Chain A
Amino acid sequence: MKEMTKVALAGNPNVGKTVIFNELTGSKQHVGNWPGVTVEKKVGKFSHKDEEIEVLDLPGTYSLSPYSIDERIARDYIIEEKPDAVVNIVDASNIERNLYLTLQLLEAGANVVVALNMMDEAQKKGMKIDVKKLSELLKTPVIPMVGIKGEGVKELKDAVYEEVKHHREHRHMSMGYGKELERGIISLEEKMEHCPALKKYRHRWLAIKILEGNAEAIEKVSEAGCDNLIKEGEKLRKQFGRKLHEDLESYFADKRYEFVDDILGVVLIKGKKLWSFSDMLDKVLTHKVFGIPIFLAMMWATFQFTFSVAVPFMDAIDLFFGWLGGAASAGITDPAIQSLVADGIIGGLGSVLIFLPNIFLLFFVLSLMEDSGYLSRAAFVMDKAMYRIGLQGKSFVPMLLGFGCNVPAIMSTRTIEDRKDRLITILVNPLMSCSARLPVYILFAGAFFLGAEGSVIFSMYLMGILLAVLMALLLRKLFFKGKPSPLIMEMPPYRIPTLKSSAIHMWEKGSMFLKKAGTTIFLGVIIIWFLSTYPGGPGSDIETSYVAAIGRWVQPIFAPLGWDWKAAIALLFGFVAKEIVVGAYGTFYGISDADEGSATLRSELHGAFTPVSAYAYMAFVLIYVPCLATIGVIKSETGSWKWTLFAVGYMMGLAYLVAFVITTVGHLLGFA
């Protein structure tokens, strides 16, 4: 009995694959799972002329070098199962990105029929594609389609029928990679002739994969018992890598894109409406030279705005708490309760809540950037820079989330498949400055760096990013040797963010701070109040309190950095939540007694810090142990106490080292 003809549908995500699958198969389809995974497997059938054809809808994939489970399924099916034909669905309006997969399919020796879908969208963009020429250049049938309207479905069935009837592997195009590399490919192909187990793979494709250093291809060769091929491939990879000054995987990818560009230069007739506004923005915002400076400019503007525009709101809250503290002092007669309410609750909590406008404004701006589509571009730009120095690709998205809160940021690393990559990202994520550190920066920058507050705060965030990159690099070299996986991400379209949606996002994230203020911080400041008021009782000298005793015990560690016991104890309580550092100072200096509120707290700080020691203190707060919640999530996500303790340990050490360097260099340069 003749085996049923098998056709696979392959393409990038969101190219209209399911629509075409439904058009081809009608209602005759079966939905199941791929073996061993929960990825949906859809199979259907259709009859055309004298042929009954089984159609399989493969998961969306950007390339045949898989980086996710979906992509691995698609790749394995095409390479191992060898369907009679592969219908490669290409989004005509995004032809450049889509043709990359087409080239890989052809390179792998698949019998490809290109379904050029969404032709209407391409026309709307002013694009004209010479389909006949494209077919000639790719040496494969190309069928223009508008899948959603059913246009081109009959022609596609005809082309598939022709392809499966007359297997045309022999006429497939091969793109060249340059003379020398071609010699390497041919030498590997020749060696493969002596490995019968590798016969089922297209030799040229396998040779390229070996040169790219593709782990799975190398495993296949090893399983086939052809270790000499692996050795030869390794030798050639090193040799060409040195010559080309880049890894071969990137080189091959660049060459494929160059080839795509060459093809498009011939087949794509650029209309005058070709340039969309999104294209224009992307050209500059993801530019190899301007991308990072623009990202830095945006971040600087964010912190400048966050600090400066919040000032009137902060002063209004400050005045309110000053009044409330005064009213509490006047209205409560019991000295212990008066001290608890005025100094402890109002003084401590008020000194933290004063920063509510900053936090809400920060989240508002981050929401604007996210809703506009810019944050994805920022991640893309930073990823390119990080990948170049050997760092993991997908980590920058969780790192950007870390600007809000490290807890969800660390949880978002679940999208990273490779365990080494994921561990690195988890371990460096707390170095990204979360919103809880912002009150500390604002307090100290306002007290010691008048007129340059925004820039000083920005420098903290910049320091966090740089340290995260350096630590990731160090961890990669010391503990997680290997190659990082590159980032492939879908760019959302640019949108003009609406005030309503950004305000909702701001409230969703900012209200977390309010909840924390009512729970953890509230409890923290009451404990600090108790420890700083007793055993002497209200009105007694703080120097005789429990907190002073604990502080003096800890302080010698920080003596080389020029910090007093109050600074040491604030850091100790900041271990629970970083905002408590400010709350502790609010309680120590009993700001509710003073009408000037935070102005008094700032002037009190001048007695305890110099600009250099204040900057070192800010840096320490940035780097040292993340809050308890972050430690908890590091433990749950790594599943290891070893890595959790390592994270705590290295961050303590790094914080001390950086603060010490700032203090020493600052003094050497003659700063106070």
Chain B
Amino acid sequence: MSEKIRLIGIYSAIIGSMYILYGMLEIIAWAAGELAFPLSPSPDIFAGFILVVIGSILLYRVRDLLNMRYEGLSFFFVGLILSAIIGIMYLLIMGADLLDATIIGETWAFDSAAYNLPAIVLFILLLPGWLIIKEREEFGE
């Protein structure tokens, strides 16, 4: 498990940095009105703030994880949970829009800004982290 913790640390650092990057880009996009960047960051200051928060939590105790200390896992798990809440929320919004289009008889098209594509992609990239929860008996109740 110890070596795995170090790997989680590296993984957490990479995804955490991406969260912060996209969070900042969403805040900039909100201020600038629009921003051309891969994954089309959503111009939404609050959404950007939330991504920055998730990224900061993932990065906060990376050093502990790299030093194979269990304390760092707390921050990784909460980052994981928040990422899932936000990612699933956007997927549900997408599903609701699809249903709405069916009800009112309109055609539905994917809108990367409305569904905050970076939040969905980063949530998917973080999904393998949930496998760690399966081994929680090693560090939890």
- Residues on A lying within 8 angstroms of B by beta carbon are 124-125, 272-273, 275-281, 283-285, 290, 293-294, 296-298, 300-301, 304-305, 308-312, 315-316, 319, 451-452, 454-455, 458
- Residues on B lying within 8 angstroms of A by beta carbon are 44-47, 49-50, 53-54, 56-57, 60, 70-71, 73-75, 77-78, 81-82, 85-86, 89, 92-93, 96-97, 99-100, 102-104, 113-114, 136, 138-141
Q: List the A side residues contacting B139 at CB < 8 Å.
A: 272-273, 275
Q: Is the CB of A312 within 8 A of B45?
A: no
With A294-B53, A294-B82 in contact, do A280 and B100 touch (Cβ < 8 Å)?
A: no
Quote the shortest CB–CB distance from B82 to chain A (angstroms): 6
Q: Is the CB of A277 within 8 A of B140?
A: yes
Q: Is the CB of B74 within 8 A of A280?
A: yes
Q: Is the CB of B103 within 8 A of A276?
A: no
Of all chain B residues, the one with the shortest Cβ separation from A124 is B141
With A301-B89, A458-B46 in contact, do A315 and B73 touch (Cβ < 8 Å)?
A: no
Instruction: Report 20 cross-chain contacts, Cβ distance below 8 Å, ordered by A residue.
Output: A272-B138, A277-B77, A277-B136, A277-B140, A280-B78, A280-B140, A281-B77, A281-B78, A284-B57, A285-B78, A290-B53, A290-B56, A300-B46, A301-B50, A301-B85, A308-B93, A308-B96, A315-B103, A451-B113, A451-B114
Quote the shortest CB–CB distance from A562 to chain B (angstroms): 25
Q: Is the CB of B85 within 8 A of A311?
A: no
Tell which of A276, A278, A301, A451 has the most Cβ of chain B within 10 Å. A301
Chain A interface mostly = helix
CB within 8 A of A281: which of B50, B60, B74, B99?
Answer: B74
Chain B interface mostly = helix
Q: Is the CB of A284 within 8 A of B96?
A: no
Q: Is the CB of A276 within 8 A of B82?
A: no
Quote the shortest CB–CB distance from A440 to chain B (angstroms): 20
Of all chain B residues, the one with the shortest Cβ separation from A284 is B78
CB within 8 A of B50: which of A125, A297, A311?
Answer: A297
Q: Is the CB of B96 within 8 A of A273?
A: no
Q: A275-B139, A293-B49, A455-B45 are in contact. List 12 more A-B contacts (CB 8 A).
A: A272-B138, A273-B139, A283-B74, A285-B78, A290-B53, A290-B56, A290-B78, A294-B57, A300-B46, A309-B96, A312-B96, A315-B100
Q: List the B side residues contacting A281 at CB < 8 Å.
A: 74, 77-78, 81
Q: Is the CB of B89 within 8 A of A305?
A: yes
Quote the shortest CB–CB distance from A364 to chain B (angstroms): 12
Q: How far is the CA of A298 from the CA of B50 in the complex (A)?
A: 9
Of all chain A residues, the one with the shortest Cβ separation from B73 is A280
Q: List the A side residues contacting B114 at CB < 8 Å.
A: 451
CB within 8 A of B53: which of A273, A279, A297?
Answer: A297
